[in-house]
Structure 1
Amino acid sequence: MARPINEEKRLERRKSILKEAVVLFAESGYSNTTTAIIAQSVGVTPGTIFQYFPSKEALYYAAVLEPLADIQVKSLACLQQEGAPGVLIQNMVEEQFNHIYFYTNELRLVQSVLGQRIRFPELTQKVLESIKVMTDAIERVYTKGQLMGEFNKSFSPAMISRAYISLLNGVGLTLGESIIHHPEWENLKGHAFYLFAPIQPKEKLEESE
């Protein structure tokens, strides 16, 4: 059943408010970004903001957590498909690196929250829980890949997953949209996958001898 037109408009306006809030919070920080500034940027009255978000803090939580959830859903989908662990992880790397530059401001917000853990303790905990869901999923697939001889068994799955997420965040924060025009872009994906220490065919042959 199609959504009523009014609901469609409401969802679109909420999306617009949230999108602008992400940019402004990322650029100016929580304290310097008022709901009035966000409303002016979106082209609505300040009171309109509170029809969608009960408070500035609630809007900030949504600006941090909703994009993070979106990234997580897409990434987990890659790891939950049928296939060899090495292929699943390679697909995940491809998916994340193909879209990471869309989330530059969102990643800046996440880093801002993690840098102010005392100020945003509850939000920090939710961000850390979201990251753990991702790293746990990578660990499970990676461990299976180690048992199947696809990855070097001397590496810690926990350390590998955290190192990869750190690399991913760093790429998004430091390179941003400019990376897609860089000649080394495809090579960077390869380097990210190499972080998982995949065993090359020659190495597998030597291990079996």
Structure 2
Amino acid sequence: MARTVNEEKRLERRKRILEEAVVLFAENGYSNTTTALIAKKIGVTSGTIFQYFPSKEALFHATVLEPLEDIQKKSLASLQQNGTPAELIKNMVEEQFNHIYSYSNELRLVQSVLGQRIRFPELTQKVLDSIKIMTDTIEAVYAKGQSMGEFSPGFSPAMISRSYISFLNGVALTLGEDIVHHPEWENLKGHAYYLFAPSQHRAK
């Protein structure tokens, strides 16, 4: 029992370190964020940080990749349910737009990494691989929807999937936490869905 309690405390502390690191890395950048600063914000010593992450670089990688994995898992789940391609795409848009404001700092970190590909080559590749899994899945669902007459046949599935991910990231980075209070919030979700050009007689 004690071991279980200790493990829960350990996981909770690791989560707290990661959450604070995400904010500080997003606000200050990699170079200007030290483990000492992160530790001070949490109220622990720098040595405590290294009990969970072997280096600052390892911590930075975790702040980028772990939230991205979480986003991907939720998004893929929405595309793997029962339903027509149009219904699945609509579910995905709803899922992503209902939670995207929670990941504004995480998406800023992703953009930061992609903007420094020479500095973070290994991390950049992992981010690109994650994005590709998402766009490939959307592409396959969209192509199936085209074959069923649910989406306009005049668009490239690859282009549509990448345009949508770009739009999603842009909305999150532009509006951040204010997104849910934006007067055009519901319309933004509608615009996101219509990037897929659903056939008018099938769209609901």
TM-score (normalised: structure 2): 0.97
In structure 2, the residue matched to 1:111 is 111
Q: What displacement does 1:200 show?
A: 1.1
Q: What displacement does 1:201 show?
A: 1.0
In structure 2, the residue matched to 1:13 is 13
Code of the residue aligned with 1:14 in structure 2: it is R
SS in 1 for 2:28: helix
Q: Distance in 2 between matches of 1:101 and 1:62?
A: 20
Residues 17 and 141 (structure 1 numbering): CA distance in 2 closer, same or farther, change over 3 Å? same
Code of the residue aligned with 2:7 in structure 1: it is E
Q: What displacement does 1:202 show?
A: 7.5
In structure 2, the residue matched to 1:153 is 153
- Give the number of aligned pairs: 203
For the 8 Å contact 2:101–2:172, the answer to whether it is kept is yes
Q: Distance in 1 between matches of 2:199 and 2:126?
A: 35
Q: What displacement does 1:3 show?
A: 7.0
In structure 1, the residue matched to 2:87 is 87
- Following superposition of structure 1 onto structure 2, how do residues 133-144 of structure 1 map, counting pairs within 5 Å? 133-144=133-144
- Following superposition of structure 1 onto structure 2, how do residues 125-136 of structure 1 map, counting pairs within 5 Å? 125-136=125-136
In structure 1, the residue matched to 2:59 is 59
Q: Gaps spanning 5+ residues in structure 1: where?
A: 204-209
TM-score (normalised: structure 1): 0.95
Q: What displacement does 1:115 show?
A: 0.2
Q: What displacement does 1:183 show?
A: 2.0
In structure 1, the residue matched to 2:29 is 29
Code of the residue aligned with 2:64 in structure 1: it is V
Q: What displacement does 1:136 show?
A: 0.4
Q: What displacement does 1:182 show?
A: 1.8
Q: Distance in 1 between matches of 2:6 and 2:51?
A: 14
Q: Gaps spanning 5+ residues in structure 2: where?
A: none
Residues 202 and 26 (structure 1 numbering): CA distance in 2 closer, same or farther, change over 3 Å? closer
Moved >2 Å (runs of 4+) = none
- Following superposition of structure 1 onto structure 2, how do residues 165-204 of structure 1 map, counting pairs within 5 Å? 165-201=165-201
CA RMSD of aligned residues (A): 1.4
- Following superposition of structure 1 onto structure 2, how do residues 63-78 of structure 1 map, counting pairs within 5 Å? 63-78=63-78
1:155-190 CA-to-partner distances (Å, cap 9, x unmatched) read 000000000000000000000111211221011100
Q: Distance in 2 between matches of 1:104 and 1:73?
A: 17
Code of the residue aligned with 2:35 in structure 1: it is T
Residues 196 and 3 (structure 1 numbering): CA distance in 2 closer, same or farther, change over 3 Å? farther
SS in 2 for 1:82: coil
